[in-house]
Structure 1
Amino acid sequence: MNESEKLQCKKVYKQTLLVLLIWILIFVGIFGYGMYWLFFDWSRFKQDLIAESTSPQGTYTVKAYVSDAGATTSYAVLGELIFNHEKRKSKKIYWQYRESEAYIKWSDDDTVSINGVTLNMPDETYDYRENE
């Protein structure tokens, strides 16, 4: 094999690796987005607003939604914390399976109870999947 053929083989090898790398990155990106959409995309779960309550000093608002994923699952209640005085993204704070109503009660400006689960705002959250 002469020098020209070696350079040609090297060039083809590099191009093949580049195309393979691009396909792997595309696959990982699509797979990653699919996992995010399936397990973490909050917007697809928020369906019907069933309750809303603002903290005594107006620092936070909690909105509760009921989600119905169809015939194979039960209802779920999802709680979202909204920051009224700060420009922060809303936060998921409550997720309970097999519920269809939400009772929200504030003890003080930083403590809220949703269906009997007490949370200190803004750091605590409740997810039935982690608390079973």
Structure 2
Amino acid sequence: MKKKQIMIIIIPLFILGLLGYGVYWAFFDMSRLPKGDLISEVSSPDGTYTLKAYVSNGGATTDFAVRGEVNFNKENKKPKNIYWDYHEEKAIIKWIDKNTVVINGHELSVPNETFDFRR
């Protein structure tokens, strides 16, 4: 009887977990953003990072969007998407210090913080 009760609780939780991850993967995962066309590239003051900005054209049904990815110049890591904003065609990038960048008015601590208009 107790085993049956545990299974009645665990199976729905597992299914809800899978559904939740599926929604995140399909709609919010920043690693699945479109590549876009390179519009800007600015290195950090100490050369540790290079932030590359791309504009993505969704076609007739969606507006332009800007994606920013940080590249690790001194480490062997793959680039990481840290910025995604909609209704933008340009990227104004300014490094404040070696770990802080401002992209179109959004200040981020590199490489850990991200900005995603969907959240």
TM class by shorter chain equals 0.7 to 0.9
Match of 2:102 among 78, 101, 113: 113
C-alpha displacement at 1:52, in angstroms? 0.5
2:64 aligned residue: 75
Q: 1:127 to 1:44 in 2, by over 3 A?
A: closer
Where does structure 1 differ by over 2 angstroms across 4 or more consecutive aligned residues?
A: 35-44
Tell me how far apart the structure 2 counterparts of residues 99 and 120 of structure 1 sit (CA, whole Å). 21
Match of 2:14 in 1: none
* CA spacing shift, 1:38–1:128, aligned 2, 3 Å: closer
Give the structure-2-normalised TM-score.
Answer: 0.74
2:92 corresponds, among 82, 103, 106, to 103
Q: Which residue of 1 aligns with 2:114?
A: 125
Q: Structure 1, residues 9-44: CA drift from partner, whole Å, max 9, x if none?
A: xxxxxxxxxxxxxxxxxxxxxxx7xx9577648576
Gap regions ≥5 residues in structure 1: 1-31
Match of 1:75, as an amino acid? F
For residues 44 and 122 of structure 1, what CA distance do their matches in structure 2 show? 18
Q: Paired residues, what number?
A: 98
Identity %: 54
In structure 2, the gaps of 5 or more residues are: 1-21
- 2:81 aligned with 1:88: no
Match of residue 64, structure 1, among 38, 45, 53? 53
The structure whose residues are more often helix, as a share, is 1
2:54 paired with 1:45:
no
Equivalent residue letter for 2:79: S
Q: CA RMSD in A?
A: 2.0
